[in-house]
């Protein structure tokens, strides 16, 4: 079997895409708030979580490969913490972040 440059590039592309990872910053159970997702095409979930944990982002704790905002802390898209997460997620890891607002339910103050 002969390897071509095309087959090598396709193999590397598939391998590279398999390494991609994603994690979430989400509210603690019972706490209202928005959710941020950080996605990287270059790092798997565990590596991505380790990098973000080392950055010591305020008001959250790592749980597995995700992060949970501290009890009583209500995170909102557009606040300074979202900017901090965005900066760390994009930084040297080449990731991107998206913020998903929580829809208000009847009787719940957001």
Q: pLDDT tens digits, residue range 17-44?
A: 456 899 999 999 988 999 999 999 989 9
Q: State the pTM of this model.
A: 0.74
Strand order in the sheet with 60-63: 60-63, 66-69, 21-26, 35-40, 96-100
Provide the pLDDT confidence category of residue 67 given band limits of 50, 70 and 90: very high
């Amino acid at each position: 079997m002969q390897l071509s440059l095309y087959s090598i590039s396709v193999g590397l592309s598939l391998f590279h895409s398999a390494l991609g990872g994603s994690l979430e910053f989400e509210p603690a159970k019972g706490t209202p708030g928005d959710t941020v997702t950080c996605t990287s095409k270059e790092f798997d979930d565990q590596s991505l979580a380790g990098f973000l944990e080392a950055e010591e982002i305020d008001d959250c704790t790592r749980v597995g490969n995700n992060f949970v905002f501290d009890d009583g802390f209500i995170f909102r898209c557009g606040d300074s913490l979202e900017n901090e997460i965005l900066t760390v997620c994009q930084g040297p890891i080449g990731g991107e972040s998206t913020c998903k607002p929580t829809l208000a339910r009847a009787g719940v103050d957001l």
